[in-house]
């Protein structure tokens, strides 16, 4: 791996204007790289072969990867890039078409049938949200409807359009827009979490009545696999390569900036404070002057996404949503999430009682799964994000690599807490036999669903690169800081592993 373009490697910038340093401390806005002068126009360099780690904000040269290779960040070990071994368009397209067909089966076929003393009740994917809505839980009904019925076909359609566009010689201008929508919506398509919800609901029901699984369950299981396969065979970098970098971009105030493309291996790299990467397509651009942190700098010359150095008000927004999640977490655990009435007997069940019930029914693996998803994950998310906010506020440089790992884990596991909400939506839809057996949703479920959604937004609003910024790792580094970090990571500095 060639040298990284970290701040310690600032070196002489032979492309910068001779008066760059004196102009640097003037207030700048947008890609305003210097005052407009009569002699020269505004300039921006798109740097080929340079990549910013989304997890820690470290700029490093990324060599051309061979199929099957994965490149990790040399500082925080987050993934920088990956080349797939499969054909970049046709394989994900095949999985995507399969997903579209499976979704149609899942939505129109019955999902489960419950037979209780000859009284039969069948449900589809839509019945859960409808029953929740009838009981007055409109917001939760909308959440379940979005995550299982509305968002999956939208993301499948978006990906189909993106892949059709990417099959052309040059990537059309509408593809990047759809790609951004896809990346934004993909975490909210929760078919795989819903499948686990079905599994837990099924095991809770088999001792109550005779349950038959319908074609929709098998279609959903297959859909879960094909959607995961689409993502794991999709090579986003290969798609972006088909899009050429524009020769001009416009600033927020309408002025034109000339963009030139340079090779990272052929030129000395500017200091990190002048580099900015597009969070959508990953293109790294260098301005001639230090860039402001919070404002929109302009549009990416390759994908037209709004470019800024860091997410706006990352810390305060995350803290506000964490405070909200902590308040909601109390009723989510104290109040029952559902009421189960069997032969006119029964009562409210809290989340913990649901876990205990599974344990007492000798279903230990399932009890552990629900305990992990409903108790451990929310606590880990709230606790982990609180630690990150606290350390960022204090400007701490302690355990940065561990914190970066924890943040990636929190983002990955966040959605799995929805298992309980999905399970309740299925039970409420299925078990409607009046005095014989009836399951209804309770306020605890609303609070719990709100905790899950708010913590997903909290993690989304936090910019993990700020942890490294405040520790002085992305600006001007002191030699002591450099040594401390590199000592920790030196063991795995060979960043590109086969
Ligand atoms: Zn990193
Ligand atoms: Zn871009």
Which CATH number is 401's domain given? 1.20.140
| Whether residue 395 sits in one domain with residue 323 | yes
C-alpha to C-alpha distances, 72 to 17, 406, 410, nearest whole angstrom: 34, 16, 19
Give the HSE-up count for residue 213: Cα atoms under 13 Å, Cβ half-sphere: 15
Task: Specify if 492 maps to a domain.
Answer: no
Single residue among 292, 309, 326 that ends a domain in this structure: 309
CA distance 268 to 13: 6
Task: Specify if 32 maps to a domain.
Answer: yes
Give the HSE-up count for residue 399: Cα atoms under 13 Å, Cβ half-sphere: 9
| Whether residue 278 sits in one domain with residue 175 | no
Single residue among 309, 324, 341 that ends a domain in this structure: 309
| Whether residue 243 sits in one domain with residue 136 | no
Number of domains in the chain: 3
Q: Which ligand is nearest to the CA of 401?
A: 1
| Whether residue 118 sits in one domain with residue 230 | yes
Task: Specify if 360 maps to a domain.
Answer: yes
Q: Which residues of the chain have pLDDT under 70?
A: 1-41, 475-498
Q: Which ligand is nearest to the CA of 183?
A: 2
| Cα R_g (the chain), whole angstroms | 26
Task: Specify if 268 maps to a domain.
Answer: yes
Task: Specify if 494 maps to a domain.
Answer: no
| Whether residue 163 sits in one domain with residue 99 | yes
Task: Specify if 142 maps to a domain.
Answer: yes
- 455 alpha carbon to ligand 1 midpoint, in Å? 23
- 306 alpha carbon to ligand 2 midpoint, in Å? 8
The pLDDT of residue 88 is 87
| Whether residue 11 sits in one domain with residue 79 | yes
- 408 alpha carbon to ligand 1 midpoint, in Å? 11
| Whether residue 176 sits in one domain with residue 69 | no
Single residue among 291, 309, 327 that ends a domain in this structure: 309
- 176 alpha carbon to ligand 2 midpoint, in Å? 8
- 404 alpha carbon to ligand 1 midpoint, in Å? 8
Task: Specify if 498 maps to a domain.
Answer: no
| Whether residue 348 sits in one domain with residue 300 | no
| Whether residue 209 sits in one domain with residue 77 | no
The pLDDT of residue 414 is 87
The pLDDT of residue 33 is 40
The pLDDT of residue 40 is 57
- 246 alpha carbon to ligand 2 midpoint, in Å? 11
- 55 alpha carbon to ligand 1 midpoint, in Å? 5
| Whether residue 457 sits in one domain with residue 365 | yes
Q: Which ligand is nearest to the CA of 408?
A: 1
- 151 alpha carbon to ligand 1 midpoint, in Å? 31
Q: Which ligand is nearest to the CA of 175?
A: 2
Q: Which ligand is nearest to the CA of 245?
A: 2
| Whether residue 317 sits in one domain with residue 259 | no
- 272 alpha carbon to ligand 1 midpoint, in Å? 14
Q: How many other C-beta atoms lie within 10 A of the C-beta of residue 236? A: 20
The pLDDT of residue 475 is 62
Task: Specify if 2 maps to a domain.
Answer: no
The pLDDT of residue 379 is 93
| Whether residue 463 sits in one domain with residue 315 | yes
Which residues, chain by chain, have CB under 5 Å from ion ligand 2?
Answer: 278, 280-281, 283, 300, 302-303, 305
Residue 389 belongs to domain spanning: 311-472+481-487
């Amino acid at each position: 791996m060639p040298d990284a373009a970290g701040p310690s490697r600032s070196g002489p910038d032979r492309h910068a204007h001779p008066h760059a340093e004196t102009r640097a401390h003037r207030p700048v806005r947008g890609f305003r790289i210097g005052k407009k002068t009569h002699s020269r126009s505004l300039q921006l360099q798109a740097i080929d072969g340079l990549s910013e780690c989304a997890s820690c904000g470290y700029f490093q040269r990324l060599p051309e990867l061979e199929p099957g290779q994965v490149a990790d960040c040399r500082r925080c070990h987050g993934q920088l890039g990956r080349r797939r071994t499969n054909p970049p368009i046709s394989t994900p397209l095949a999985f995507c078409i399969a997903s579209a067909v499976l979704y149609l089966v899942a939505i129109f076929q019955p999902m489960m049938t419950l037979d209780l003393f000859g009284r039969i009740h069948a449900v589809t994917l839509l019945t859960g949200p409808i029953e929740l809505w009838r009981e007055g839980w409109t917001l939760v009904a909308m959440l379940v409807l979005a995550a299982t019925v509305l968002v999956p076909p939208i993301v499948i359609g978006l990906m189909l359009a993106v892949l059709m566009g990417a099959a052309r010689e040059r990537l059309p201008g509408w593809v990047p827009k759809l790609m951004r929508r896809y990346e934004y919506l993909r975490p909210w398509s929760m078919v795989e979490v819903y499948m686990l919800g079905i599994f837990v609901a099924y095991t809770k029901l088999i001792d109550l009545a005779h349950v038959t699984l319908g074609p929709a369950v098998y279609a959903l299981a297959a859909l879960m696999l094909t959607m995961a396969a689409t993502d794991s065979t999709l090579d986003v970098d290969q798609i972006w390569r088909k899009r050429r970098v524009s020769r001009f971009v416009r600033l927020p105030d309408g002025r034109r900036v000339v963009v030139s493309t340079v090779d990272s291996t052929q030129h000395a790299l500017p200091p990190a404070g002048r580099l900015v990467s597009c969070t959508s397509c990953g293109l790294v651009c260098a301005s001639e002057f230090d860039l402001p942190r919070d404002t929109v700098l302009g549009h990416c010359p390759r994908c037209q996404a709004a470019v800024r150095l860091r997410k706006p008000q990352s810390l305060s927004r995350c803290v506000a949503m964490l405070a909200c999640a902590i308040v909601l977490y109390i009723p989510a655990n104290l109040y029952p999430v559902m009421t189960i009435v069997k032969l006119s007997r029964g009562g409210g069940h809290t989340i913990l009682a649901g876990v205990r019930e599974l344990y007492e029914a000798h279903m230990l693996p399932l009890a552990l799964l629900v305990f992990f998803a409903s108790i451990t994950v929310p606590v880990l998310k709230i606790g982990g994000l609180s630690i990150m906010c606290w350390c960022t506020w204090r400007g701490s440089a302690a355990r940065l690599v561990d914190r970066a790992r924890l943040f990636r884990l929190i983002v990955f596991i966040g959605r799995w807490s929805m298992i309980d909400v999905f399970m309740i939506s299925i039970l409420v839809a299925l078990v409607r036999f009046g005095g014989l057996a009836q399951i209804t949703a309770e306020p605890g479920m609303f609070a719990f669903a709100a905790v899950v959604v708010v913590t997903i937004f909290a993690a989304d609003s936090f910019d993990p690169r700020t942890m490294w910024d405040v520790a002085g790792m992305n600006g001007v580094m002191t030699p002591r800081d450099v040594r401390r970090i590199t000592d920790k990571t030196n063991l795995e500095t060979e960043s590109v592993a086969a």
